[in-house]
Amino acid sequence: SAVISQKPSRDICQRGTSLTIQCQVDSQVTMMFWYRQQPGQSLTLIATANQGSEATYESGFVIDKFPISRPNLTFSTLTVSNMSPEDSSIYLCSVVSGGGGAFFGQGTRLTVV
């Protein structure tokens, strides 16, 4: 298993601003993933963070809105840009272990006012 730390755990932000969420893993991993969970909903994959190349975004998500960095094999950031109240969600990073199981950070609960 992997231990994943996310920061911040929660934040309240003004509309129009940006927030960067950090994800640190205690071991080197090839793939890191970012998910969004809107209030009362299930989790939806935003993108795959690739080390050494650009992130791969899922349908409905774009780099200008959710830029991602992956500077090394243990760290990634997700930025939520030009926020609106509709961006209020829990954002979670995830890694996959050697056995194929996915592990998640504790999540960042974002409220945009």
Task: Looking at the chain, list the stretches that DSSP marks H as alpha helix, in order from N- to C-terminal side.
Answer: none
Minimum distance, C-beta of residue 60 to another protein, in the bound complex (Å):
13
Applying CB under 8 A, does 61 fall inside the site for another protein?
Answer: no
Buried/exposed code over 83-104 (b: 16+ C-beta within 10 A; e: otherwise) = beeebbbbbbbbbeeeeeeeeb
How, if at all, do strands 108-112 and 10-13 pair? parallel
Stretches 20-28, 70-78, 80-88, 94-102: which one binds another protein (CB under 8 A)?
Answer: 94-102
- Cβ 45 to another protein shortest distance, Å: 6
Contact residues for another protein, defined by CB under 8 A: 1, 31, 33, 37, 42-45, 48, 58, 90, 92, 94, 96, 99-104, 106-107, 109
